[in-house]
Amino acid sequence: MEKRGRFIVLEGIDGSGTTTQAENLKAHLESQGKKVHLTRQPSTGVIGKTIREFLAKKEGQAVNWEMLALLFAADRLHHWEAEIEPHLRAGDFVISDRYVLSSLVYQGEDCPEEWVAQINQYAPQPDLTFWVNISAEAAFKRVKDRGGVEEVYDDLAKQQSLEKRYARLASSQNAIEVNGDRSISEVTQALCEAMQKHLGV
Ligand code: TMP
């Protein structure tokens, strides 16, 4: 029987580079002959698509923060059943751009933290979580330079607060901190070294 795959998560504030780093980690693992499934949360499933609708800043659109927290938790469970677990069962590596720590950090801003943890208690633990720690100012500049749809969390003061929350909450998810305030390739190298150390790949 094929060995069960490993589940790796990348976390950080908006603009911290988790999407690029997830792609680089995938390429690194593939260069060793591993099969890798790259994914993200919010997912591309029905609940994830609904979340994206609510995240986009739209004139007159009401967002209820508790509702959003419940949607993120529900999307996570659906994503697990429909996509993550089948790939792990097949022996693949799964890399997810964001997971439970994102909800604790982002939804915990507007909802009671303990309740956010509670509604996420059924999400299985990843094998490895990385937190790409970057200054909110540098990350915010990247987001603005990139352009795209404006979202409800696109605000420097909000990102500064989220940066502090990551620093406080990362250890609750056993996240390994990687300094994101350096070049993309240096961050990738640090992530690969940590992956080697913790997962032996
Ligand atoms: P993205 O920028 O990684 O595509 O994620 C979209 C936004 O959703 C980003 O601002 C972070 C936010 N988010 C949460 O607020 N809670 C969550 O649980 C997740 C997965 C993302």
Q: Which domains does the chain have, with CATH numbers?
A: 7-199 (3.40.50.300)
The answer to whether the CB of 115 is under 6 A from ligand 1 is no
- CA-nearest residue for atom 13, ligand 1, is 102
For residue 52, give the ligand 1 atom closest to its CA.
Answer: 6
Ligand 1 centroid to Cα of residue 41, in Å, is 7
In DSSP terms, which residues pair with 94 in a beta bridge? Answer: 7, 37
Show Cβ contacts of residue 93 under 8 Å, excluding neighbours closer than 6 positions: 5, 6, 7, 8, 29, 34, 35, 36, 37, 201
Buried b (16+ CB within 10 A) or exposed e, 30-64: eeeeeebbebbbbbebebbeebeebbeeeeeeeee
The answer to whether the CB of 106 is under 6 A from ligand 1 is yes
Ligand 1 centroid to Cα of residue 42, in Å, is 6
Closest CA to 13 of 113, 101, 81, 108: 101
**Each residue's pLDDT tens digit, 13-67:** 999 999 999 999 999 999 999 999 999 999 999 999 999 999 998 888 889 999 9
**Each residue's pLDDT tens digit, 57-103:** 888 888 999 999 999 999 999 999 999 999 999 999 999 999 999 99
